[in-house]
């Protein structure tokens, strides 16, 4: 309906079993430039209302078959016809009958016999009220939509700020840790080579001396027994080898830290995805080990041959960290509750990568065989601040930030597939294009 009450686009449905009443009402309505639609019973009135969508209905109460009250009741239960204002026409003067009609959903009553001037005045009033109501509803809907968009934009901005701050802080922290680790590692590596050479020389000297001087005095013999020279000679190379392996492990951790938190926020760079996943696994290696609650988490890697991807490596590594850490948390909780212990399943984390030539993209699958996620929770896992973890164990931002990194920053996709009791799988799709 339009605001102009003289518009010929306004349609009034007249419902009365008396043809004379319909004719009089139609003539009165035509003087206002409105179009009259007519029905002589309740069933046809409902049918016309559904397909013609009149702006207002004048409905007689006393009709054979379906009376006005039941007709109005059915109109108000239909989503299509419910908003149409209904005015009853009746010879009934009892207030209880009028109250009954208003309770059903009518907006007014016109008492027969009626005056044309009164009918037109009431029609104009309710057409105007209807128009104002619809205009108000439309404005409320528009404002609600604007507020919803503003809220989404605010949440997105908050996530960007949180993510940028986290990445900046993490980058500074890791850079400092890497620097502090590298200095002693370099010192130990440099000296370990000399220690091995010195030790080898001393052991050769001891061996040669024992061969050249088989006769030894009692004091030397006592010392040899005290230090268990034979075991010392056998075990010392093993100790040095263990030290060297420990240094190699420290170097791997240091490299993983540098790979994990690369300072590349400004622009995309070419990055090998497998390096990011492996560096994340290295940093979480201590959490993959078995504990008093559960056995060691088995990691299965099925890597395809991937070409480097233009991306923000530090941010992608943050996604890998969030997803893998969440899987470990899920295993811990599953075994703590006893669910996974009862099933006797070995906790397994499967990592798969492959290239989708048709979509010019790569896919990364991160799958666990834990307890899975309920459908009602799956629908909300990417919502900011939503978490199922106990207080103090999670902020609810990890997956929301991961979604923003993949979808907004990399124009990719992230999906969650899960069945309770079967496990959870996250699928990340990243385009191979060079857009930045």
pLDDT higher than 60, residue 192: yes
Residues 338 and 192 in one domain: no
d(CA 276, CA 255): 11
| Residue 410 lies inside a defined structural domain of this protein | yes
Per DSSP, what are the bridge partners of residue 37? 13
State the chain's mean pLDDT as an integer: 81
| Residue 196 lies inside a defined structural domain of this protein | yes
Where is the domain boundary, 261, 294, 312? 261
- Exposed / middle / buried, residue 27 (Cβ in 10 Å: 0-12, 13-18, 19+): exposed
Residues 169 and 251 in one domain: yes
pLDDT higher than 60, residue 144: yes
pLDDT higher than 50, residue 158: yes
Residues 402 and 354 in one domain: yes
SS3 per residue for 412-428: CEEEEEEECCCEEEEEE
pLDDT for the residue 1: 44
H or E stretch covering 299? strand 298-302
Give pLDDT tens digits for 196-237: 888 888 888 888 888 887 777 888 888 888 888 888 888 888
pLDDT for the residue 406: 92
Count of Cβ atoms closer than 10 Å to residue 285 Cβ: 14
pLDDT for the residue 364: 96
Give pLDDT tens digits for 300-317: 999 999 988 988 888 888
pLDDT for the residue 340: 75
Residues 313 and 243 in one domain: no
Beta strands in 82-203 (DSSP E): 86-90, 108-111
Sign of the CA dihedral running 359, 362, 368, 374: negative
Query: Directed axis angle between helix 95-104 and helix 68-77, to 10°?
Result: 20
Residues 62 and 95 in one domain: yes
Domain that holds residue 249: 156-261
CA 157 to chain centre: 16
**Long-range CB contact pairs, 390-395, < 8 A, 24+:** 393/329, 394/329
Residues 188 and 246 in one domain: yes
Residues 234 and 92 in one domain: no
Where is the domain boundary, 215, 243, 261? 261
CA 216 to chain centre: 78
Cβ–Cβ under 8 Å, residues 314 and 275 = no
| Residue 389 lies inside a defined structural domain of this protein | yes
**Structural domains counted in the chain:** 3
> Which CATH number do you get for residue 411?
3.30.565.10
Q: 135-152 burial, b if ≥16 CB within 10 A, otherwise e?
A: eeeeeeeeeeeeeeeeee
Residues 178 and 85 in one domain: no
Residue 313's SS3 state is helix
> Which CATH number do you get for residue 69?
3.40.50.2300
| Residue 54 lies inside a defined structural domain of this protein | yes
Residues 226 and 94 in one domain: no
- Please, how many CA atoms are within 13 Å of residue 363, restricted to the half-sphere of its CB? 14
**Tokens standing for residue 215:** 């006769």
| Residue of 433, 419, 409 lying closest to 164 (CA atoms) | 409
Question: Which pLDDT band, with edges at 50, 70 and 90, does 173 fall under?
Answer: low
Cα-only R_g, the chain: 40
Query: Directed axis angle between helix 19-30 and helix 116-212, to 10°?
Result: 80
Residues 255 and 290 in one domain: no
Residues 6+ apart with CB under 8 A from 340: 294, 331, 334, 347, 370, 371
Model confidence, pTM: 0.50
Inter-CA distances, 91 with 57, 68, 119, 355, Å: 17, 12, 14, 78
Give pLDDT tens digits for 10-25: 889 999 988 888 888 8
d(CA 353, CA 362): 7
Task: Provide the pairing of β-strand 413-419 with 423-431.
Answer: antiparallel
Residues 314 and 376 in one domain: yes
Q: Which residue has the higher pLDDT, 255 or 417?
A: 417
| Residue of 22, 103, 10 lying closest to 59 (CA atoms) | 22
| Residue 431 lies inside a defined structural domain of this protein | yes
d(CA 330, CA 372): 8
d(CA 196, CA 33): 108
Where is the domain boundary, 232, 261, 290? 261
| Residue 256 lies inside a defined structural domain of this protein | yes
Residues 241 and 292 in one domain: no
**Tokens standing for residue 411:** 């124009």
Give pLDDT tens digits for 340-396: 776 777 899 999 999 988 888 999 999 999 888 888 888 888 876 566 665 445 555
| Residue 146 lies inside a defined structural domain of this protein | no
| Residue 133 lies inside a defined structural domain of this protein | no
């Amino acid at each position: 309906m339009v605001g102009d009450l003289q518009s010929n686009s306004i349609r009034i449905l007249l419902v009365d079993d008396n043809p004379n009443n319909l004719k009089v009402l139609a003539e009165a309505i035509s003087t206002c430039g409105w179009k009259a639609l007519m029905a002589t019973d309740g069933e046809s009135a409902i049918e016309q209302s559904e397909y013609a969508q009149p702006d207002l209905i004048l409905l007689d109460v006393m009709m054979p078959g379906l009376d006005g009250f039941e007709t109005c009741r059915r109109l108000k239960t239909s989503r299509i016809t419910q908003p149409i204002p209904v005015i009853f026409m009746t010879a009934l003067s009892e207030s209880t009958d009028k109250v009954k009609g208003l309770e059903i959903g009518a907006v007014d009553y016109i008492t027969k016999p009626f005056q044309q001037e009164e009918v037109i005045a009431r029609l104009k009033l309710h057409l105007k009220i209807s128009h104002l109501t619809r205009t108000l509803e439309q404005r409320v809907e528009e404002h609600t939509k604007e507020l919803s968009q503003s809220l989404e934009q605010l949440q997105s901005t908050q996530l960007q700020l949180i993510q940028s701050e986290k990445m900046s802080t993490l980058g500074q922290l890791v850079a400092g840790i890497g620097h502090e680790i590298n200095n002693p590692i370099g010192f130990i590596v440099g000296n370990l080579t000399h220690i091995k050479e010195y030790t080898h020389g001393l052991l050769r000297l001891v061996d040669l001396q024992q061969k050249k001087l088989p006769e030894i005095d009692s004091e030397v013999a006592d010392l040899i027994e005290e230090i268990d020279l034979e075991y010392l000679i056998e075990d010392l190379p093993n100790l040095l080898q263990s030290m060297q392996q420990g240094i190699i492990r420290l170097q791997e951790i240091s490299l993983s830290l540098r790979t994990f938190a690369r300072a590349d926020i400004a622009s995309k760079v070419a990055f090998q995805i497998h390096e990011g996943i492996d560096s994340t696994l290295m940093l979480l290696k201590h959490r993959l080990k078995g504990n008093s609650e559960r056995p060691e988490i088995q990691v299965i890697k099925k890597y395809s041959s991937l070409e480097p991807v233009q991306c923000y490596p530090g941010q992608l590594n943050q996604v890998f960290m969030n997803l893998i850490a969440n899987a470990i948390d899920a295993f811990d909780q599953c075994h703590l509750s006893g669910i996974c212990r009862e099933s006797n399943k070995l906790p397994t984390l499967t990592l798969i990568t492959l290239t989708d030539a048709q979509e010019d993209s790569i896919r990364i699958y991160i799958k666990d065989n834990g307890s899975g996620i309920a459908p009602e929770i799956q629908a909300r896992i990417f919502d900011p601040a939503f978490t199922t973890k106990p207080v103090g164990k999670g902020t609810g931002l990890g997956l929301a930030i991961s979604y923003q990194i993949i979808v907004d920053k990399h124009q990719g996709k992230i999906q969650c597939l899960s069945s309770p009791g079967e496990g959870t799988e996250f699928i990340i799709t990243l385009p191979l294009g060079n857009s930045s």
